Chains A and B, each alone.
Chain A
Amino acid sequence: MVAVLMPHPEPADAVSSPTPVAPRLTTLAGRTIGIVNNSWHCMDIVTEELRRALCADYAVAEVVEVKISAAQTLPAPELERLAGVCDAVVVGIGTCGSCSRWVLHDAMELERHKVPTVSLFTKVFEVLARAVQDLEGFPGLRLAILPHPLNPLPDDQIRAAANAAVAEIAGSLTGAGTGAR
């Protein structure tokens, strides 16, 4: 037998204590909710449906949408602005590997700014989101999982999937959802 050096990270390098997420809201009524739309076609439609449902069914006062490319994170000034004006933010959508990583990045940054968030993913990318949550030490981050594939579907089916997820998304911002681990 010989001593074999391990190629993996050392336990001492792992995140030692989890980062807490921001406190949830008591209600969405009268609040300002942000939506980070990363420009997937399906996220355009999810944003439309969320805007309508949050205002009509949850008495949200205002929805603030920020549209970015799926290949980028929120620019710092936009993040600061959203954190300043929004009571909570929906970030979406992770429906590819890299954009899932950016969605998580933006959600974690907003949580660090004490803004409660929920991150949207399609089902195939849940495993990635959970793995990155663990690696980053953010076990409390709230995820809402939509069906996959979503982007290629006809618009009416994307709309239906978005509406089916509204209760989970809204609940994740008020602590009623099941997206926590």
Chain B
Amino acid sequence: MIRFASTTVDLPDDSEAVSDYLYERGLSDGLPVIVPTVERVERMLSGTRRDPASSLGAMPPSNAPATVEKVAINAVLAGCKPEQLPVLIAAVEAVLDPAWKLDAVQPTTMALGPMVIVNGPVRGRADVNGGTGSLGPGWRGNATIGRALRLLLINLGGARPGDVDRSTQGFPGKYSFCFAENEEESPWEPLHATRGLEAAESAVTVVAVSSSTNVSDSTDDAADLLRTITGGLTNPSTANVMDPLSTPVLALNALHATILARAGFGRAQLQDYLFEHVRLPADALSARRAHLRRSAGEDLFLVDGRIPFTNDPGNILIVVTGGMGGNHSTYMQNGLYGHAISRRVDE
């Protein structure tokens, strides 16, 4: 039996009663929860070899230690199964990397929230969908891993929406945003293998995004498709363009990726193409927005006389997800904080 460090409260083993109890104390995303009894949290911890008392780091702004025990409690609340815990642990490690700047993501006025991309064999065990409907509902891993991460940010980090979380409008992706790469139907190497990890191992890549834009084209012609993609990404209104170091995400469905691969594009060539072509005129930004972008460094404002959506082609995250059925890909904007971080899933 595990000796837990967390406070316990005697309550009915009843989802409605415990959901109400936590909701009234601001420990909630608003949805009902599974009751984190000692037995359920012990079962959750069977999904990892980590010591429940070990800490993944201090979670801002409360700076409370994100112990494996606290991660497991919030995983139970969110409806996770033990098989999903290792993915959640890796995602927590990613957002606690100082370079991810969770300190700023938590209170930001922007809509930014963490989006978890899962690669490798764990996708099957953790029931994370990367095929048809991967950005939508229907799979437990997609639904609960992102939710558990959000609950940790609120319950442990202290980022209560409207109080510390100052997001002006929020974003539906802040409830839960987790999906897998469709490695099986992707024409390219897995995303994590381009980010310093072995293709055979499992990994998460976590990036803060603030909205999603549909990129739709039923063409079979790569040049046509590139024109559509470039048009969708060339957007002067998002926070992404305020940040020369942003890590914008292009989530291509497997069919779109295949069309581009047939035309000779690998990931790196597509990154270079987008870097060269997704450019705004120098006067595209309002005075206030130009002022903010310039504050990152005057030398970063323009590249060859125009404003790129990120100043480094390597920062453009290209992930293949969704089925082969159709014409729809997605652009998701990053900006200022939550730049992409990848972490191995320790199974």
Interface residues, chain A, CB within 8 Å of chain B?
1-11, 13-14, 38-41, 67-71, 96-98, 100-102, 105, 124-125, 127-128, 131-132, 135-136, 151-152
Cross-chain contact B61 with A101 (CB below 8 angstroms): yes
Instruction: Provide a sorted-by-A list of 6 A–B residue pairs whose CB atoms are within 8 angstroms.
Output: A7-B22, A97-B109, A98-B105, A98-B108, A101-B104, A136-B63
Cross-chain contact B292 with A105 (CB below 8 angstroms): no
Closest B residue, CB atoms, query A69: B295
Cross-chain contact B73 with A151 (CB below 8 angstroms): no
**Chain B 88-105 interface mask (CB, 8 Å, partner A; 1/0):** 000000000000000111
- Whether A39 contacts B295 in the complex (CB less than 8 A), given A3-B8, A97-B166, comes out as yes
Q: B residues within 8 A CB of A98?
A: 104-105, 107-110, 336-337
Cross-chain contact B9 with A128 (CB below 8 angstroms): no
The A contact surface, by secondary structure, is mixed
* Contacts A8-B7, A8-B27, A131-B164 known; 15 new A-B pairs at CB < 8 A: A4-B10, A4-B21, A5-B4, A5-B6, A5-B8, A5-B38, A7-B6, A70-B295, A96-B110, A98-B105, A101-B61, A101-B103, A128-B163, A128-B166, A135-B158
Instruction: Flag whether B288 is at the interface (Cβ < 8 A).
Output: yes
Q: A residues within 8 A CB of B36?
A: 4-5, 7
- Whether A4 contacts B18 in the complex (CB less than 8 A), given A9-B62, A9-B158, A41-B291, comes out as yes
B286 CB to nearest A CB, Å = 10
Instruction: Flag whether B296 is at the interface (Cβ < 8 A).
Output: yes
Cross-chain contact B62 with A135 (CB below 8 angstroms): yes
Q: B residues within 8 A CB of A135?
A: 61-63, 158, 164
Per the bound structure, the CA–CA distance linking A113 and B264 in Å amounts to: 57
Q: B residues within 8 A CB of A68?
A: 295
Q: A residues within 8 A CB of B9?
A: 3-4, 6
B151 CB to nearest A CB, Å = 7
B91 CB to nearest A CB, Å = 16
Closest A residue, CB atoms, query B148: A7
Cross-chain contact B65 with A13 (CB below 8 angstroms): yes
Closest A residue, CB atoms, query B39: A2
Cross-chain contact A41 with B109 (CB below 8 angstroms): no
Closest B residue, CB atoms, query A12: B5
Instruction: Flag whether B311 is at the interface (Cβ < 8 A).
Output: no
**Chain B 163-174 interface mask (CB, 8 Å, partner A; 1/0):** 111110000000
Query: Which chain B residues (34-66) contact chain A, with CB distance < 8 Å?
Result: 35-38, 41, 61-65
Q: Which listed residue, A8, A96, A152, touches B156 by the CB 8 Å rule?
A: A8
Q: Which listed residue, B5, B21, B25, B104, touches A102 by the CB 8 Å rule?
A: B104
Q: B residues within 8 A CB of A38?
A: 295
Q: B residues within 8 A CB of A10?
A: 5-7, 64
- Whether A3 contacts B108 in the complex (CB less than 8 A), given A128-B164, A136-B61, comes out as no
Closest A residue, CB atoms, query B36: A5
